[in-house]
Amino acid sequence: MTGHVSILSEAVLPLRVFGPLGEVLVTAVIDTGFTASLTLPAQTISKLGLVSVAEGHAFLADGSSVEYRVYPAEIDWDGVRQRVSVYGIGEDALVGMAVLKWHRLRADLSPGGVVEVTPL
Q: Domains of the chain (ranges plus CATH)?
A: 2-119 (2.40.70.10)
Task: Say whether pLDDT at 12 is over 90.
Answer: yes
9, 26, 30, 96, 113 from 116: Cα distances, Å: 15, 17, 11, 15, 10
Task: Please report the pLDDT score of residue 66 as a whole number.
Answer: 86
Task: Please report the pLDDT score of residue 65 as a whole number.
Answer: 87
Tell me the pLDDT tens digit for each residue of 54-107: 999 988 778 888 899 999 999 999 899 999 999 999 899 999 999 999 999 999
- Spatial distance between the Cα atoms of 67 and 61, rounded to a whole number of angstroms: 14
Tell me the pLDDT tens digit for each residue of 15-46: 999 999 999 999 999 999 899 999 999 999 99
Q: Kindly report the pTM of this predicted structure.
A: 0.90
Task: Please report the pLDDT score of residue 64 as a whole number.
Answer: 84
Report the 10 Å Cβ neighbour count for 46.
13
Task: Please report the pLDDT score of residue 62 as a whole number.
Answer: 80
